[in-house]
Amino acid sequence: MCWRAFYWKYKGQQQSYFSATSIPGYFTFATVNAGKARIFGIDADIAFRPTDADTFNLQVEYINTKYQKFTITNYTSLGPPVTGCDIGPLSPDGATRPIDCAGFPLVRTPKWSGTASYSHRFDLSSGFAIEPGASVQFASSSWLSVEYLGTERQDAYAMLDASLAFYAPGNQLSLTVFARNLTNEAVITQANRHLFIHPAPANPNGGADGLIVGSIRAPRTYGARLRYNF
């Protein structure tokens, strides 16, 4: 077993988002430096073998994060900003508003996350061996974008994997069949609001936050691996 506690002061973390610019009609994938954040937590890695045939592993992390200073410039050319952060006053020329996201946690940083696994090896009298195993990946909820909209938040989840390995005598040749994400969880890894589709009621076809686009992890998958040790 090993564990580690940590406390960080993080300055200048880079975050990216799709944004209008000061030039009318021009847009960009902007990268900004978050002013300041604090991070603390603890992680543990535990391996346990009660017998020569049984293996338990657990990796778990608790991390608490908060932006202490994080301001984004919003250009008003596309209408009022859509965000869960505090919206500041218009600039004198009416072109921008400051968006203050201080107090929110870091993006894509769940408070709890980890992996737990177990496997058992059956040694057969013929010299062959069979080893079934299972693992679960888990995480608490997290924000996926610096807009901090409710529709850009990944809920807590757990993903179950399983495998079955066959070993020839001497372990030189092995065949493993596996299944990943057995529960077919839809886990979002990234999300952003589409700039050109306004939310309701301005756009009757838009949701409360407009159109959210993103990407997800792979669905339930199956496969096999053949391995030969020279």
Check residue 69 and give its pLDDT.
92
Task: Kindly report, residue by residue over 92-140, the tens digit of the pLDDT.
Answer: 888 888 999 999 999 999 999 999 999 999 999 999 999 999 999 999 9
Q: Residue 37 — very low, low, confident or very high, per pLDDT cuts 50/70/90?
A: very high
Closest by Cα among 137, 118, 148 to 53: 118
Residue 75: predicted pLDDT? 81
Read off the pLDDT of residues 45-55 as tens digits, 9 standing for 90 and up: 999 999 999 99
Q: What is the pLDDT of residue 211?
A: 81
Q: How far apart are the first and last CA of the chain?
A: 33
Q: What digits encode the pLDDT tens for the residues 153-184?
A: 999 999 999 999 999 998 899 999 999 999 99
Q: Where are the beta strands (DSSP E) in 49-128?
A: 54-69, 71-75, 86-87, 96-100, 112-120, 122-123
Per-residue model confidence (pLDDT) at position 101? 93
- Residues 2-8, mean pLDDT to the nearest whole number: 95
Q: Provide the whole-model pTM.
A: 0.83
- Residues 189 and 182: beta-carbon distance below 8 Å: no
Q: Given pLDDT bands bounded at 50, 70 and 90, which one contains residue 62?
A: very high
Instruction: Give the pLDDT score at 186.
Output: 94
Per-residue pLDDT of 63-96, as tens digits, reads 999 999 998 888 877 778 889 999 999 988 888 8
